[in-house]
Amino acid sequence: MDRGTVGSASRGRLHVAIRHHGASAVVTAAGELDHHTADLLRESLEGCVDDGYARLVVDCSPLEFMDSTGLNVLLGARLKAEAAGGGVHLAGMQPVVARVFEITGAEAVFTVHDSLDAALAD
């Protein structure tokens, strides 16, 4: 049950939109996720868990860049979601973003899906 976009925010080069799909919060990050924009995504993900959505699906398909700060935001969200009985699912990563996960080995601690549809079907 998709209830549409329930919130969105922008900070410089990053736009974050949140919608609910059943028991999942779908968080779409578009643009560049780095030291200057990371707090916007952190606040959005933590807010979803605080609102009772422990299953977070992060749509990475419109994400053009991510550095280690962005990776740390996702790792922190993973810990918070798992403590609440859920987890973080990453969907549709572009090669430049996927490379950060490959280099660091972080892909091993996330559930990664090729597309948003696949993540929502899981």
| Residuewise pLDDT in 10s, the chain (122 residues) | 344 455 666 667 999 999 999 999 999 999 999 999 999 999 999 999 999 999 999 999 999 999 999 999 999 999 999 999 999 999 999 999 999 999 999 999 999 999 999 999 98
Query: What are 38's two structure tokens?
Result: 């990371």
Q: How far apart are CA 9 and CA 72, in angstroms?
A: 20
Please state the pTM of the whole predicted model: 0.90
Report the pLDDT value the prediction gives residue 1, as an integer from 0 to 100.
Answer: 36
CA-to-CA separations, 80 to 4, 84, 107, in angstroms, rounded: 24, 6, 18
CATH 3.30.750.24 fits 14-119, yes or no: yes
- What stretches of the chain show up as alpha helix (H) in DSSP? 38-50, 68-83, 95-104, 116-121
